[in-house]
Structure 1
Amino acid sequence: MASGIRFGAIPANAVHLCVDMQRLFAEDTAWRTPWMPRVLPVVVRLCERKADRTCFTRFIPARTASDGLGAWRRYWERWPSMTLDQLGQDKVDLVPELRAFVPPARVLDKAVYSPWIGTDLAAGLATAGVDTLVVTGAETDMCVLSTVLGAVDLGFRVVVVSDALCSSSDESHDALIDLYNDRFGQQIETAECDEVLDAWA
């Protein structure tokens, strides 16, 4: 199925869910995402237009590896430099270019890839009558993937802004954009920022 906005205008009350555009992924860490500087201006442009409809998520690492539950403990043992004790609390901040939009934009912290687990995000969106999410952020094949699939399961219309995503893997990024179009075409639309802004009242 072709990319693009296929299911009509994006409702005025849609929410821009910007995933994990944080210093720990932008700066010189083990998880640096090289594409972030390239897509950041696109995310900024969307935020400039829709700051009051934007929610930023932040991935908050475990304090120490021993704080991880189940397989997360093994994960943090693999990445000890990314635990809060070694990384430093300031690295979980949004990149400065996006932090400037808060408020009116909101910030949602999460301890796992998905923003739907252990948060009130779904309930808050339901209360506000939101049925459409516009998704940007990092990384395409990790936290963005978990965000998108969780939103699909909850019944949201999902619009993925294809030029406002970043990953450390070109191959995985491209494969997921193809997957959204080929296999999730009734629930996920992929479009570039210009088309999204044109469709969003």
Structure 2
Amino acid sequence: MTKSIETVEPICQAAHLCIDMQRLFSTGGVWETPWMSRVGPAITEVASRYRDRTIFTRFIPPQRAEDCVGRWQRYYRRWEAATLQHLPPQQLDLLPDLARLTPPALVIDKPVYSAFKQSNLATMLGQLGVGTVVITGAETDVCVLATVLDAVDLGYRVVLVEDALCSSSDPGHDALMTMYRTRFHEQIDLVSIGDLHSLWEPGRDIAFRPV
């Protein structure tokens, strides 16, 4: 059951996590997400409005498949074109409209799906006093999913901006939106961009500082 916006608590002590909006996943990228361009303006709107509370993540593949452990080796043998020995360096860059927001927006690199694994994100959020993570980006059913579940396990309130998420799989996106909407009532809220702006007033929340 979806919450009505009237029952959603105001957003405070929040950070905006924008997941993997990189050239790697855009038009012509190795892992092209076809409708990233469709949600790009919405994500840019959110990141621009909350730029001093935004953290961009970048997915950074290994140099070679052999540098990975376990099934990640098999994965990168399949996607050898995405390893750093073959990938043009600019493919790792944020999309230009987002890159212009750094600074004050921050950037964290990660080698796996979740933004919380093998990164200093949790430490950074703790130092900033963050209790809520507002999430946008790609992909709904892969890196966003992994990040959301880790955030839930760590005790964060998660706010998903549903018109600022995208996937290369429509069925995967739709299935995950249904799961988020129906299975995590106490931990996850789904809001539109318009609702986000009414729930989260930038001037009344924390401002980021270097850590």
Relative to the length of structure 2, the TM-score reads 0.92
User: Percent of aligned pairs with the same residue?
Assistant: 50
SS in structure 2 of the partner of residue 74 of structure 1: helix
- Residue in 2 aligned with 1:84? 84
TM-aligned CA deviation for residue 177 of structure 1: 0.8
AA aligned to 2:135 is V
Query: What's the CA shift for 1:86?
Result: 0.9
Q: Which residue of 2 aligns with 1:9?
A: 10
State the Cα distance separating 1:4 from its structure 2 match: 5.0
Residues 39-58 of structure 1 deviation map (CA, whole Å, 9 limit, x = unaligned): 01001111121000000000
Map of 1:136 onto structure 2 = 136
Quote the offset at 1:29 in angstroms: 2.9
Aligned equivalents of 2:35, 2:190: Cα separation in 1 = 19
Amino acid in the other structure paired with 1:115: A
Distance (whole Å) between structure 1 residues aligned to residue 105 and residue 141 of structure 2? 25
- How many angstroms apart in 2 are the aligned matches of 1:104 and 1:126? 18
Structure 2 residues without counterparts, runs of 5 or longer:
202-211
The Cα of 1:10 is off from its aligned counterpart by: 0.4
SS at match of 1:39: helix
Which amino acid counterpart does residue 62 of structure 2 have in structure 1?
Answer: A
Q: Which residue of the partner structure matches residue 145 of structure 1?
A: 145
TM-score normalised according to structure 1 size: 0.96
Preserved CA contact (<8 Å) 1:68 1:74: no
CA RMSD after TM alignment: 1.1
| Mapped partners of 2:119, 2:180: distance in 1 | 25
Structure 1 residues without counterparts, runs of 5 or longer: none
* Structure-2 separation of matches of 1:41 and 1:200: 19
Secondary structure of the structure 2 residue equivalent to 1:86: coil
For residues 65-84 of structure 1, the aligned pairs below 5 Å read 65-84=65-84
Residue aligning to 1:200: 200
TM-fit CA distance, 1:90: 1.3
8 Å CA contact 2:42, 2:163 repeated in 1: yes
* Closer/same/farther in 2, CA of residues 123 and 158 from structure 1, 3 Å limit: same
Q: Give, in whole Å, the separation in 2 of the partners of 1:192 and 1:8.
A: 14
Mapped pair 1:121 → 2:117 = no
Amino acid at match of 1:173: H
